[in-house]
Amino acid sequence: MTDLGPLIPRNRAVHPPAYTPDYKTSVARSPTLPLLSLESGPSEETGPMFGHGMFGALDNNLILNWTKGAAPAIGERILVFGHVLDERGKPVPETLVEIWQANAGGRYRHKKDGYLAPLDPNFGGCGRALTDENGYYEFLTIRPGAYPWPNRGNDWRPMHIHLSVYGHSFGQRLITQLYFEGDPLIDLCPIANTVKDRGDLDRLVAPLDMSMARPLDFLAYRFDIVLRGRRQTMFENRLEGL
């Protein structure tokens, strides 16, 4: 196996710190001692890959996948799409993107969510897709509702979709959240604002993209994702482990 080079060290400045007291749950769940830094090795530079064979035709269609196509979910129909790249700007093809979200009323299909908004019997709230050979993915879904949550006196989560991305190595693993352009709750949300730099937070806000909206059907939002890249190694042609 060709040595593709170590992962580029993570730029922690763009990520939320562990301890963010406005988001109260982080207080007791944040490590306080320094992380151990080490150049990546095979444990981080390899990772699971998933074949097309395990995906169903509706896996990336949350409007229809919970009912297996029998009845559509309620809500504003949207397309969420984007490009998965690494830090060097190279597309990441054939990688797994998974999403989960609340329904149009702001309630999750989870045994522990007891919010008073109704469950939509036709909406499961999760989907998955592989990026194509150029690194693009897309999901058809409904716009999730905002909802209140117990943190400070009256905190509300902005409309958001959770995204989980693998990349091609275990060290690229990332979970993040997509917010929607124009939502005033973003500025008030202690979770969104764990990202300290406004420019970095803005990269989690998907803009409306009318060029991808389909007339009389759905609006479209674009959300590109950048994963860690690899450092070029001096030993490009050397076999790994030798």
Q: By CB under 8 A, what part of segment 112-171 binds other proteins?
A: 112-113, 124-126, 128, 162, 164, 170-171
Cβ closer to other proteins: 76 or 240?
Answer: 240
Cβ closer to other proteins: 74 or 91?
Answer: 91
Contact status: 6 vs other proteins (CB under 8 A):
yes
Torsion of CA 184, 197, 139, 182, to 10 degrees: 20
Contact status: 62 vs other proteins (CB under 8 A):
no
Active site residues: 108, 147, 157, 160, 162
Contact status: 15 vs other proteins (CB under 8 A):
yes
Whether residue 4 contacts residue 240, with contact meaning beta carbons closer than 8 Å, is answered with no
Cβ closer to other proteins: 181 or 224?
Answer: 224
Token match 């196509």: residue? Answer: 69
Contact status: 83 vs other proteins (CB under 8 A):
no
For residue 29, the number of C-alpha atoms closer than 13 Å in the C-beta half-sphere is: 5
Q: Which residues pair with residue 178 across a beta bridge?
A: 161
Q: Which residues pair with residue 7 across a beta bridge?
A: 230
Using CB under 8 A, which of the segments 33-41, 114-122, 129-137, 140-148 binds other proteins? 33-41
Site size toward other proteins (CB under 8 A) is 92
Alpha carbon 212 to chain centroid distance? Answer: 20
Whether residue 158 contacts residue 183, with contact meaning beta carbons closer than 8 Å, is answered with yes
Minimum distance of other proteins from residue 105's CB (angstroms): 15
**DSSP assignment letter at 51:** -
Token match 């395990």: residue? Answer: 54
Whether residue 240 contacts residue 2, with contact meaning beta carbons closer than 8 Å, is answered with yes
Q: Please say whether the dihedral angle defined by the alpha carbons of residues 99, 206, 229 and 4, taken in this order, is positive or negative.
A: positive
**DSSP assignment letter at 98:** E
Instruction: List the interface residues with other proteins, window 172-201 (CB under 8 A).
Output: 173-177, 191-192, 194-195, 197, 200-201
Residue type for position 230? R
Contact status: 104 vs other proteins (CB under 8 A):
no
Question: Out of 21, 32, 215, 217, which residue is the one contacting other proteins (CB under 8 A)?
Answer: 32
Using CB under 8 A, which of the segments 98-106, 114-122, 134-142, 205-213 binds other proteins? 98-106
Minimum distance of other proteins from residue 214's CB (angstroms): 25
Question: Out of 48, 69, 182, 207, which residue is the one contacting other proteins (CB under 8 A)?
Answer: 48
